[in-house]
């Protein structure tokens, strides 16, 4: 389809947002009281032909913050031993600082204004991320504070499946049950699912621009370069 004003830039595809897939493994369900134990993120990039694909992956083992709650039932699901002597865990602030540096670089290089979190049941991941940011008193969070893309919703609409494993399988992608509930595996599978669904709905995006070509110009500006 030839669409006036269509460019193959991810900054234009999502109004200046750069999608970054995030998955967290935790000691419970309460972001204010329960420990953040693992954090993984996958950058999303656009090919020269305009298709989305997963990019670089980052993973951090996180030390439980002082006074945090850890529910044994959660550990039974994610298989994490927070106090294992060989676990290469770092404080929340260090993990977030390292991740945010990578995300800010990706946002800048893509010509975007901000990152937007993509997650499966994204509000859960975003709540834990925001709580850790507040505890760490970090001032340069590249993620939008409340907007997100939820692959549980996208999977339900596009594939009739809201459970991650079922949506991934329904999309024709591989799923290894032994890898589930690892932050890096779930983040990478979520990224693959997000890209697959967006690519299949690409024709709707292009049709929308054909109907309203003025939308192709967007209303965002790239942020100034920063480290």
Q: Is residue 216 part of a domain?
A: no
Average pLDDT of the residues of the chain: 93
CATH of the domain at 27: 3.30.420.10
What average pLDDT does this structure show over 71-87? 96
Residue 98 lies in a domain: yes
Sign of the Cα torsion 137, 94, 35, 25 reads positive
Question: Would you state the pLDDT for residue 212?
Answer: 82
Q: Of the candidates 123, 170, 168, 169, which has an alpha carbon nearest to the alpha carbon of residue 147?
A: 123
Structural domain boundaries, residue 161 = 10-211
Residue 33 within any structural domain of the chain: yes
DSSP assignment of 39-99, as one string? EEEEEEEE-TTS-EEEEEEEEEEEPPPTT-B--HHHHHHH---TT-TT--EE-HHHHHHHH
56 in any annotated domain = yes
Q: Is 133 inside any structural domain?
A: yes
For residue 64, tell me if it sits in a domain: yes
Q: Which two three-digit tokens encode residue 102?
A: 């990578």
pLDDT confidence tier of residue 225, bands split at 50, 70 and 90: very low
Residue 43 binned pLDDT confidence (cut-offs 50, 70, 90): very high
Compute and round to an integer the Cα radius of gyration of the chain: 18
In this structure, the dihedral spanned by the alpha carbons of residues 107, 190, 41 and 215, taken in order and rounded to 10 degrees, is: 10
List strands edge to edge, sheet with 89-90.
89-90, 52-62, 36-46, 17-26, 114-119, 143-150
Catalytic status, residue 181? yes
Which residues have CB under 8 Å from 157's CB, separation 6+? none
Residue 127 included in any domain: yes
pLDDT band at residue 218 using 50, 70 and 90 as cut-offs: low
Calculate what percentage of the chain has a pLDDT beyond 70. 92
Count of domains observed in the chain: 1
Is the pLDDT at 219 greater than 70, yes or no?
no
Q: Does 2 map to a domain?
A: no
Q: Is the pLDDT of residue 28 over 80?
A: yes
Looking at 61, 83, 84, 181, which residue is catalytic? 181
């Amino acid at each position: 389809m030839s669409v006036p004003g269509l460019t193959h830039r991810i900054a234009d595809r999502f109004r200046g947002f750069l999608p970054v897939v995030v998955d967290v493994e935790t000691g419970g369900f309460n972001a204010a009281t329960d420990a953040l134990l693992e954090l993984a993120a996958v950058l999303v990039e656009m090919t020269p032909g305009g298709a989305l694909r997963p990019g670089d992956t980052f993973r951090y083992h996180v030390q439980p913050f002082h006074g945090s709650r850890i529910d044994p039932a959660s550990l039974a699901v994610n298989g994490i031993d927070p106090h294992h002597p060989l676990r290469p865990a770092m404080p929340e602030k260090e993990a977030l600082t390292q991740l945010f540096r990578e995300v800010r670089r990706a946002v800048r290089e893509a010509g975007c204004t901000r990152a937007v979190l993509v997650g499966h049941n994204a509000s859960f991941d975003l709540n834990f991320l925001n709580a850790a940011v507040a505890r760490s008193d970090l001032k340069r969070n590249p993620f939008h504070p409340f907007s997100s893309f939820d692959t549980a919703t996208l999977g339900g609409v596009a594939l009739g499946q809201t459970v991650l494993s079922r949506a991934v399988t329904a999309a024709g992608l591989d799923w290894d049950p032994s890898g589930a509930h690892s932050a890096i595996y779930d983040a990478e599978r979520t990224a693959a699912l997000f890209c697959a669904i967006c690519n299949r709905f690409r024709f709707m995006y292009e049709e929308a621009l054909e109907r309203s070509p003025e939308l192709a110009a967007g209303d965002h500006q790239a942020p100034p370069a920063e480290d």
